[in-house]
Amino acid sequence: MRIEGKVALISGGARGQGAAEAKLFAQEGAKVVFGDILDDQGKQVEAEINEAGGE
């Protein structure tokens, strides 16, 4: 993908397709910003992205 250095904005990023996209985009070098009403699940996705070296 050509997203390295880009910013990805994802709504509904705490689970399902949104979480998968957030992780994939971070893995591909994008800076990821995501929101969701599910705080605890969102924090888990954030931790997984950070542990994998993403932003």
Residue 24 has pLDDT above 80, yes or no: yes
Give residue 45's pLDDT band: very low, low, confident or very high (50, 70, 90). Answer: very high
Residue 42 has pLDDT above 80, yes or no: yes
- pLDDT mean across residues, the chain: 95
Residue 11 has pLDDT above 80, yes or no: yes
Between CA 27 and CA 19 the distance in angstroms is 12
- pTM of the model as a whole: 0.91
> What's the confidence (pLDDT) of residue 20?
97
Which sequence spans correspond to the domains of the chain? Answer: 7-51
Token pair listed for 37 = 């009403």
